[in-house]
């Protein structure tokens, strides 16, 4: 059986989606949009597939999925119930317009990073990847997220600059500008999977695992006051705002991932309200 969901949007954000007919099909919550996180609950024992790939399901039946910045217009969720029946939903993924800035006539410059940088980045990227690869059977994100620091939004998910016609990689964080030393709080509870004070581009960096592949990453921290493996509750102080790494002025760059899919922190923040 197949159902097409009709979604209603307000500011590119879906609060609740209802599957219309079969009782067993789950109600989904979150944002069926580029950068959105969507979660639902099935009867324990049900298998969930997204575009043909198995999705992790918590023992309570809760599962979560996410859509990247450039996700195509639809996704297919399939449910395989314990009794052998199957069901599927086509989810329309709302496309978004991101802020694109074109700058032309810049003097050409070629930057060749020193070889020791390349080696160091390899190690740092490896640590980030392993921190995000953990599958912890918890659902801390169900309680919503809070803004990790008091301050002004100064950079948004999805924005991109095109310099002399060359697209740079998009910005995947939500930047919050604040004075050096402003406390940074855990946006949601979880376990610290990475805590380091001096990454080349990120400066002080913390990755918190909120469960089921959902993580928060915080960059440019001046101080990091949590250790890897520590458990944090939502709102716990984990360090302070800085301008370390590659940053133009003090701010915290907050990122939210579903495994290696980059989500929009603003969407999960709004959902928690
Ligand atoms: Zn940023």
How far is the centre of ligand 1, averaged over its atoms, from the C-alpha of 223 (Å)?
17
* Residue 19: per-residue pLDDT: 42
From the options 1.10.132.20, 3.10.110.10, 2.70.70.10, 3.40.50.1370, give the CATH code of 101-271.
Answer: 2.70.70.10
How far is the centre of ligand 1, averaged over its atoms, from the C-alpha of 43 (Å)?
39
**Length of the chain in terms of residues written:** 273
Look at the pTM and tell me if it is higher than 0.85. yes
Among 76, 112, 73, 78, residue whose Cα is nearest residue 96:
73
How far is the centre of ligand 1, averaged over its atoms, from the C-alpha of 130 (Å)?
22
How far is the centre of ligand 1, averaged over its atoms, from the C-alpha of 106 (Å)?
22
* Residue 14: per-residue pLDDT: 39
* Residue 17: per-residue pLDDT: 44
**Sheet (strand 166-167) strand order:** 100-103, 160-163, 166-167
How far is the centre of ligand 1, averaged over its atoms, from the C-alpha of 85 (Å)?
46
CATH tag, 2-92:
2.60.40
* Residue 3: per-residue pLDDT: 37
* Residue 24: per-residue pLDDT: 61
How far is the centre of ligand 1, averaged over its atoms, from the C-alpha of 172 (Å)?
7
* Residue 9: per-residue pLDDT: 33
In this prediction, the residues of the chain whose per-residue pLDDT falls under 50 are 1-23
Write out pLDDT tens, residues 149-160. Answer: 999 999 999 999
Sorted by sequence, the CB contacts under 8 Å of residue 255 that are 6+ apart come out as: 172, 173, 174, 216, 217, 218, 219, 262, 265
- Between CA 184 and CA 273 the distance in angstroms is 19
Domain ranges of the chain: 2-92, 101-271
Write out pLDDT tens, residues 197-255. Answer: 999 999 999 999 999 999 999 999 999 999 999 999 999 999 999 999 999 899 999 99
How far is the centre of ligand 1, averaged over its atoms, from the C-alpha of 259 (Å)?
19
Q: Are 232 and 225 in contact (CB under 8 A)?
A: no
* Residue 32: per-residue pLDDT: 94
How far is the centre of ligand 1, averaged over its atoms, from the C-alpha of 178 (Å)?
13
* Residue 265: per-residue pLDDT: 98
* Residue 105: per-residue pLDDT: 87
* Residue 112: per-residue pLDDT: 77
Instruction: State the number of CA atoms in the 13 A half-sphere of 11 facing the CB.
Output: 6
How far is the centre of ligand 1, averaged over its atoms, from the C-alpha of 175 (Å)?
5
How far is the centre of ligand 1, averaged over its atoms, from the C-alpha of 171 (Å)?
6
How far is the centre of ligand 1, averaged over its atoms, from the C-alpha of 49 (Å)?
33
């Amino acid at each position: 059986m197949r159902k097409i969901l009709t979604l209603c949007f307000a500011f590119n954000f879906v609060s609740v989606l209802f599957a219309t007919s079969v009782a067993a099909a789950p109600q989904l919550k979150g944002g069926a949009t580029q950068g959105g996180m969507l979660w639902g609950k099935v009867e324990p024992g049900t298998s969930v597939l997204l575009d043909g790939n198995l999705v992790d399901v918590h023992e309570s039946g809760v599962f979560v999925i996410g859509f990247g910045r450039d996700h195509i217009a639809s996704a297919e969720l399939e449910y395989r119930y314990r009794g052998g029946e199957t069901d599927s939903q086509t989810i329309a993924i709302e496309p978004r317009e991101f802020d694109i800035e074109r700058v032309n006539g810049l003097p050409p410059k070629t930057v060749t990073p020193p070889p020791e940088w390349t080696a160091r980045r390899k190690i740092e990227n490896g640590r980030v990847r392993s921190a995000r690869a953990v599958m912890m059977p918890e659902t801390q994100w169900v309680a919503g997220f809070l803004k990790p620091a008091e301050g002004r939004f100064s950079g948004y998910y999805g924005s991109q600059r095109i310099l002399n016609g060359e697209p740079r990689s998009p910005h995947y964080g939500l930047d919050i500008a604040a004075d050096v030393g402003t406390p940074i709080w855990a946006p949601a509870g979880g376990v610290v999977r990475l805590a380091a004070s001096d990454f080349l581009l990120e400066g002080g960096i913390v990755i918190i695992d909120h469960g089921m592949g959902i993580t928060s990453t915080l960059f440019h921290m001046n101080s990091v006051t949590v250790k890897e493996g520590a458990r944090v509750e939502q709102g716990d102080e984990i360090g302070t705002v800085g301008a370390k790494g590659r940053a133009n002025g003090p701010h915290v760059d907050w990122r939210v991932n579903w495994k290696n899919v980059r989500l929009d922190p603003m969407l999960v923040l709004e959902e928690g309200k």
